[in-house]
Structure 1
């Protein structure tokens, strides 16, 4: 072998390259990181379901008495709303976890990691799906002995629609935490101020038929209304316009939440 051959092989040999880490891989890493504390200590999942169970146990007899319908028919209307309610309670408070990370310095350490900030946001938001599905299945299991009969296929699709909505809501909760930083009173003030009007205007606890005109208008511009209607339709096995409108509302909420959350994460320091 001549010196020229050696030189040619040296200069033409490809330099070793490292495998690029994909965005999906980064999102999966963040998702796993965020989910591990929930798996190790599921107390937050258990605690988050207590209040919806109280609503289910206390409001159902009142609705039966006021409507004159059977317990089974009342549960067919009320349980989907309770499932949406528990997702609201759990997902809208996730920004508080980010505030805790800001206080301990954990958030700043993740910002200087090789992971993109958009993957940090999306991975965090996706984590909210798991507790929501687990809690929803517990609610369904509690209601079935009392006459609640969900359509299995509709329940699966309904949980998928609700999961999409929860990703967007969780991202908005993180964006709020990033906006107010460590001011916990500001986070909880905004969260509580928005949560209950949205929930009541969506007709989760009480039907809005016959409500004053301004309430009906406010209900129609509330995206949560369409998600609740979709859950009731799908879980009952009805595949109609309500299901489509709810899926669209959930998708729009998800897109808006991820865009706002990713922008807030990129601006975070």
Structure 2
């Protein structure tokens, strides 16, 4: 099956990794649906950047805790775009609360945003792709915490573990339709979510990361753009760590930590 993507939706594309991804897909020749939750102006700025590359952009508000109604936003954007070839589930949140202190409402908000909302949107996107019969690309931006936990992130870690498992199951079930499903696992990336919106990651020292610095949102976007492209036609069910080598530091971290400060997150 020949796959030539022309349309994409990137959730949470008002800033950070989402914006960088939306722009990367526009540069690759796609019209892009942009979604925002609280930063409408940010979404408008993303749309303008997409249009500066000669592609169409449409914008809608998406609240992934609006269940199952948030899937209707996927339909509305796809209709405006004239189809849907690539869907990137990027919208997410965290709460920073330890397990013993984690209130159920906080748990539910994080899990609904990162997992349940992602599920209904991915499902709706996949249903459209199957109906169109042209194949497709489903991509989830998870986290290194898809595979490794973090103190103070019980709900976040659980939701990212779940999303990674969901993508692998989707890959098994939808391969016969020419639809691939993959995850991208960012490490520490200089974005608003990590309070580094205006930071040049190459100016920051991170001794515990082999490459010695945080990542740039565009470094995540480049991997997503590959997974959205025809070049990734034989890649499915994979989780791509884009973390500067962070995940390789487990044994070193265990043997080189010299205080109990890590217990505080």
TM-score by length of 2: 0.32
Task: Say which structure is richer in strand.
Answer: 2
| Higher CA-based Rg | 1
Q: Considering Cα pairs closer than 8 Å and 6+ residues apart, tell me whether 1 or 2 has the greater RCO.
A: 1
Task: Say which structure is richer in helix.
Answer: 1
